[in-house]
Amino acid sequence: MRKGSDEGIMDITDRATKVRNGEELETKAVEEFLKDNIKGLEGTFDIAQFPSGFSNLTYMIRVGERKFVLRRPPFGTKAKSAHDMSREYHILSALHPVFPYAPKPFVYTQDTSIMGCPFYVMEHIQGIILRKDLPRGLEMSPDDARRLCENLIDLHFELHSIDYKEVGLEDFGRPEGYVKRQVDGWSRRYLASRTEDAPDFELIMEWLDKKIPQERARPSIIHNDYKLDNLVLEPENPLRIIGILDWEMATIGDPLMDLGSSLAYWVQKDDPEEFQSIRLMPTNIPGALTREELVARYSEQSGISIHNFDFYFCFGLFRLAVIAQQIYYRYYHGQTRDKRFKTLIFAVQNLEKIATRVIEHKRFKTLIFAVQNLEKIATRVIEHSHM
């Protein structure tokens, strides 16, 4: 791995910029609230905005030498249940003491007089966040890329291994019937947010409903948006993950649903063009693990048998399409002026094509066969060890 000078290292960390038009905050009201609720805040107050992301809005708050992150729902929100600030604050409060990758939360309020909506403030974790391509000043060898991918999947399993009852999250979700409820719920959300230019997804919704697997005995804390650009990497050692962001959809449920949702974002080098067109992260660099290898490593770490991962992967693709469609719906109906949302309809259309290929086993069948073969090999090893 090679980085530039200290100045170059700063250049590749995630930076806040000018607040977008129409997404400004009431600076004086926010300043007064934070100084009243966080001890020791003194100095110049400043607000900037992190430019990436399509869901909840994220701002950098500077008070003198201290930095914080403020999270609030988007303006013109349609799907309010997907932007519950209290849930984010709750899970961070429970997780941070035992899982320091979750940022430390400082304060939450439902007082809408400050900015018209609930919001919360958490610590700022300074580090590198990988976007579509590796930033200038950061290079990774194939071995580096592989190690980062291994760290990513191992940390995902570490999250799933936490006893949610012991950390006070017993009432945070409803694990019983989780998979069925997710398939039904995301199907309803798609139908409610579908626009005239969006595909119907009927084949995919019917297939998912018919293929719902048996309920897993051990539910877990699941992030529900665990992906490379929600991880913060240490500037001095970008193979080390120091933070996990965007906990807005976290709950208690089937860990394989979480893994499937993550791999829906994982575009590898040999994927077809429609998948390449929606790549958001450098998951295609030399040495990066394939989806097959990620599933195999997770299976090895967890001991979970994964013989039907086509269901979880297809669900992840469908869920991602619904999220994109919900955001596009806001743009389509004039609820937001953010021009980034205009092109999301093409992502929805391409995700429909990819999901169709998965259920027809036309292109992604190697994922299924690889996992099945892994299980056969593991069984043979176990049998041989008892001979």
Asked if residue 118 and residue 146 are part of one domain, the reply reads: no
Q: pLDDT digit string (tens) for 169-189?
A: 999 989 999 999 999 999 999
Please check whether residue 133 lies inside any domain of the structure: no
Q: What is the pLDDT of residue 45?
A: 94
Please check whether residue 315 lies inside any domain of the structure: yes
Q: What is the pLDDT of residue 382?
A: 45
Task: Reply yes or no on whether the pLDDT at 126 is more than 50.
Answer: yes
How distant, in Å, are the alpha carbons of 88, 194, 287, 300, 330 from that of 335? 24, 15, 42, 45, 5
Asked if residue 150 and residue 246 are part of one domain, the reply reads: yes
**Closest to 321 in 3D by CA, of 208, 172, 153:** 208
Q: What is the pLDDT of residue 366?
A: 47
Residues β-bridged to residue 238: none
Domain assignment of residue 322, given as a range = 138-385
Q: What is the pLDDT of residue 2?
A: 53
Q: What is the pLDDT of residue 306?
A: 85
Q: Where are the beta strands (DSSP E) in 181-338?
A: 220-222, 231-234, 237-244, 251-253
Asked if residue 149 and residue 93 are part of one domain, the reply reads: no
Of the candidates 123, 150, 166, which is a domain's last residue? 123
Q: What is the pLDDT of residue 217?
A: 76
Please check whether residue 131 lies inside any domain of the structure: no
Q: What band does 21 get if pLDDT is binned at 50, 70 and 90?
A: confident
Q: pLDDT digit string (tens) for 303-329?
A: 988 888 999 999 999 999 999 999 999
Asked if residue 87 and residue 47 are part of one domain, the reply reads: yes
Of the candidates 123, 153, 184, which is a domain's last residue? 123
Please check whether residue 331 lies inside any domain of the structure: yes
Q: What is the pLDDT of residue 4?
A: 47
Please check whether residue 184 lies inside any domain of the structure: yes
Please check whether residue 128 lies inside any domain of the structure: no
Q: What is the pLDDT of residue 84?
A: 81
Q: What is the pLDDT of residue 114?
A: 94
Q: What is the pLDDT of residue 288?
A: 97
pTM to 2 decimal places: 0.86
Q: Cβ-count burial of 146 within 10 angstroms (0-12 exposed, 13-18 middle, 19+ buried)?
A: middle
Asked if residue 159 and residue 15 are part of one domain, the reply reads: no
Asked if residue 191 and residue 68 are part of one domain, the reply reads: no
Asked if residue 113 and residue 155 are part of one domain, the reply reads: no
Task: Reply yes or no on whether the pLDDT at 376 is more than 80.
Answer: no
Average pLDDT value for the chain: 88
Asked if residue 189 and residue 100 are part of one domain, the reply reads: no
Asked if residue 152 and residue 196 are part of one domain, the reply reads: yes
How distant, in Å, are the alpha carbons of 201, 338, 370 from that of 78? 21, 15, 40
Question: How many distinct structural domains can be found in the chain?
Answer: 2
Asked if residue 330 and residue 277 are part of one domain, the reply reads: yes
Residues β-bridged to residue 67: 62
Q: Where are the beta strands (DSSP E) in the chain?
A: 2-3, 45-49, 57-63, 66-72, 105-109, 119-123, 138-139, 220-222, 231-234, 237-244, 251-253
Task: Reply yes or no on whether the pLDDT at 27 is more than 50.
Answer: yes
Q: How far apart are CA 385 and CA 387, in angstroms?
A: 6
